[in-house]
């Protein structure tokens, strides 16, 4: 029988590195502990998701988040679970969440760590009540060691400086997907054992695809390069691409990205002209950066259409961004269409 590798063991081996017991690996012990706590929090959220109506977790809460979106009960529950699990462990300086206006500094009564944790506690909120896959997305940065206290400014680092990123998808299976900068690994939750078990390593996104994911109802609002790309896909075999394309849109970024990491594809949430001043719908710090890094680590490309997502220097915690990510050759084509349009 092949040996099962738990997330804990995988992380300890990463910490030790290739020299084994005496070695120095790719992740420090504090980062390992932090990732284990995040995984534990995801396990609790998964349990709440599974209970659904029985656990009283469905439906809207009576509040709005900082982006003016009506919060679901699960948005709030997942946010609280992540904060409570992470605040006392001593590995964090502060947290930031899609559901909170400002940063959450670790209270003085707990030891302070050097890491910053960002999360979208519940991604795909419109799917919670209809029993469709949803998830949690997270990203980890290092605090400036020279700074005496932690502030929002510490979080405003480009995605290329992430030290860990991942998501947990709550679907037919609960799967945690992780990168610490040396490839992408997937861990499936074994509910009987209560642990995440390594089920795929060295995840690779195929360079080519015939499957796109975009909210087609926004088509009339898109910029010409995005419209050109999708029009050509829709023309299929008879059009310039000479092949038929399939479409999928789950409306949970975690689920759409998980499909792309599993079998390839291109995902787009582009800028559109309804609110020209708003770069896009998705959030840079909680959605685009972690997903962009995972996709790059699996051999794909993540762009706004005009620049690499991971190179963007954030100016605001809740900054929005246009997102085009997935199979290398398709994303590069969309980038080329943008360049040709402005040339
Ligand atoms: O409802 P639309 O326009 O299809 O948007 C779906 C997109 O919005 C999101 O649900 C936004 O995330 P939240 O649920 O965390 O706000 C993405 O996961 C998804 O890709
Ligand atoms: Mg989201
Ligand atoms: Mg969310």
CATH number of residue 154's parent domain: 3.30.540.10
> Of 157, 181, 200, which residue constitutes the final position of a domain?
200
Q: What is the pLDDT of residue 85?
A: 97
Does 251 contact ligand 1 (Cβ within 6 A)? Answer: yes
| Ligand 1 atom at minimum distance from 286 CA | 15
User: Is residue 206 in a domain?
Assistant: no
Whether 126 is in the pocket of ligand 1, judged by its Cβ within 6 Å, is yes
Tell me, yes or no, whether 196 and 235 share the same domain: no
- Give yes or no for residue 253 CB within 6 A of ligand 1: yes
Residue 67 Cα: closest atom of ligand 1: 16
Q: By alpha-carbon position, which residue is closest to atom 4 of ligand 1?
A: 251
Q: Which atom of ligand 1 is nearest to the CA of 256?
A: 20
Q: Which residues contact 150 (CB under 8 A, 6 or more apart)?
A: 93, 94, 103, 105, 116, 143
pLDDT, one tens digit for every residue, the chain (343 residues) = 578 999 999 999 999 987 666 667 789 999 999 999 999 999 999 999 999 888 888 888 877 777 777 788 999 999 999 999 999 999 999 999 999 999 999 999 999 999 999 999 999 999 999 999 999 999 999 998 877 789 999 999 999 999 999 999 999 999 999 999 999 999 999 999 999 999 999 999 999 999 999 999 999 999 999 999 999 999 999 999 999 999 999 999 999 999 999 999 999 999 999 988 889 999 999 999 999 999 999 999 999 999 999 999 999 999 999 999 999 999 999 999 999 998 7
Does residue 169 sit in the same domain as residue 255? Answer: no
Residue whose CA lies nearest to ligand 1 atom number 7: 251
Residues 53 and 196 in one domain: yes
Residue nearest to atom 15 of ligand 1 (CA): 123
Output the pLDDT for position 22.
Answer: 66
Nearest CA to ligand 1 atom 20: 253
Residue 125, pLDDT score: 93
- Number of structural domains (the chain) is 2
Looking at the fold, whether 250 and 277 belong to one and the same domain comes out as: yes
Full domain range(s) for residue 94: 7-200
Question: Based on the domain organization, do 98 and 117 belong to the same domain?
Answer: yes
Within a domain: 174 = yes
Q: How many CA atoms lie within 13 A of 105 on its CB side?
A: 10
123 is in an annotated binding site: yes
Nearest CA to ligand 1 atom 2: 251
CATH number for the domain including 230? 3.40.190.80
Q: Which atom of ligand 1 is nearest to the CA of 125?
A: 14
For residues 113 and 152, membership in a common domain is answered with yes
Ligand 1 contact, 67 CB (< 6 A): no
Ligand nearest the Cα of residue 98 is 3
Closest CA relative to residue 268, chosen from 51, 260, 276, 199: 260
Based on the fold, state whether residues 152 and 277 are members of the same structural domain: no
Pocket test for ligand 1, best of 99, 252, 274, 275 (most atoms within 8 A of CB): 252
Whole-prediction pTM: 0.96
Q: Are residues 104 and 186 in the same domain?
A: yes
Domain check: are 269 and 196 in the same one? no
**Residue 59, in any domain of the structure:** yes
Q: Is the residue at 115 inside a domain?
A: yes
Tell me, yes or no, whether 308 lies in a domain. yes
> Can you tell me the distance from the alpha carbon of 132 to that of 130, in angstroms, rounded to the nearest whole number?
6
Dist. CA 337–CA 343, nearest whole Å: 10
Where among 168, 200, 232 does a domain terminate? Answer: 200
Residues 85 and 233 in one domain: no
Q: Is the CB of 252 under 6 A from ligand 1?
A: yes
**With helix as H, strand as E and coil as C, how does the chain read?**
CCCCCEHHHHHHHHHHCCCHHHCCCCCCHHHHHHHHHHHHHHHHHHHHHHHHHHHCCCCEEEEECCCCCEEEHHHHHHHHHHHHHHCCCCCEEEEEECCCCCCEECCCCCCCCCEEEEEEEEECHHHHHHCCCEEEEEEEEECCCCCCCCCHHHHCCCHHHCCEEEEEEECCCEEEEEECCCCEEEEEEECCCCEEEEEECCCCCCCCCCEEECCHHHHHHECHHHHHHHHHHHHHHHCCCCCCCEECCCCCHHHHHHHHHHHCCEEEECCECCCCCCCCCEEHHHHHHHHHHHHHHCCCEEECCCCEHHHCCCCCCCCEECEEEECHHHHHHHHHHHHHHHC
Confirm whether residue 124 is marked as ligand binding: yes
Residue to substitute in 126, 169, 260 for testing ligand 1 pocket (most ligand atoms within 8 angstroms of CB): 126
The pLDDT of residue 23 is: 67
Q: Could you tell me if 177 and 97 lie in one domain? A: yes
Taking CA atoms only, the protein residue closest to ligand 1 atom 9 is 124
Q: Is residue 196 in some structural domain?
A: yes
Task: Determine, yes or no, domain membership for 175.
Answer: yes
Task: Note whether residue 2 is domain-resident.
Answer: no
Quote ipTM for the complex: 0.98
| Ligand 1, atom 11, residue with closest C-alpha | 124
Q: Are residues 165 and 271 in the same domain?
A: no
Is 144 annotated in a binding site? The answer is no
């Amino acid at each position: 029988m092949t040996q099962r590798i738990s997330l804990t063991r995988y992380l300890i081996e990463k910490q030790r590195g290739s020299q084994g017991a005496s070695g120095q690996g790719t992740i420090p012990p504090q980062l390992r502990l932090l990732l284990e706590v995040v995984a534990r929090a995801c396990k609790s959220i998964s349990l709440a998701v599974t209970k659904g109506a029985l656990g009283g977790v469905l439906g809207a809460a009576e509040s709005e988040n900082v982006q003016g979106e009506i919060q679901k009960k699960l948005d709030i529950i997942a946010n609280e679970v992540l904060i409570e699990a992470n605040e006392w462990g001593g590995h964090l300086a502060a947290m930031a969440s899609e559901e909170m206006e400002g940063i959450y500094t670790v209270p003085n009564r707990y030891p302070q760590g050097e890491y910053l944790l960002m999360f979208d506690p519940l991604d795909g909120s419109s799917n919670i009540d209809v029993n469709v896959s949803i998830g949690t997305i997270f990203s980890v940065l290092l605090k400036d060691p020279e700074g005496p206290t932690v502030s929002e400014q510490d979080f405003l680092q480009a995605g290329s400086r992430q030290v860990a990123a991942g998501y947990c998808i709550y679907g037919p299976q609960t799967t945690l997907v992780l990168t610490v900068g040396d490839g992408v690994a997937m861990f499936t939750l074994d509910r009987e054992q209560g642990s995440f078990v390594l089920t795929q390593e060295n995840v690779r996104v195929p360079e080519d695809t015939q499957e796109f994911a975009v909210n087609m109802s926004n088509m009339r609002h898109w910029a010409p390069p995005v419209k050109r790309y999708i029009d050509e896909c829709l023309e299929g075999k008879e059009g310039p691409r000479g092949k038929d394309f399939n479409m999928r849109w789950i409306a949970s970024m975690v689920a759409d990205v998980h499909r792309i990491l599993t079998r390839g594809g291109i995902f787009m949430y582009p800028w559109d002209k309804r609110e020209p001043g708003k770069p896009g719908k998705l959030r840079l710090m909680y959605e685009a950066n972690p997903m962009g890094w995972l996709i790059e680590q699996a051999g794909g490309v993540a762009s706004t259409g005009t620049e690499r997502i991971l190179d963007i220097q954030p100016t605001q915690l809740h900054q929005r961004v246009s997102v085009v990510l997935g199979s290398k050759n398709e994303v590069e084509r969309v980038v080329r269409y943008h360049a040709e349009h402005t040339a």
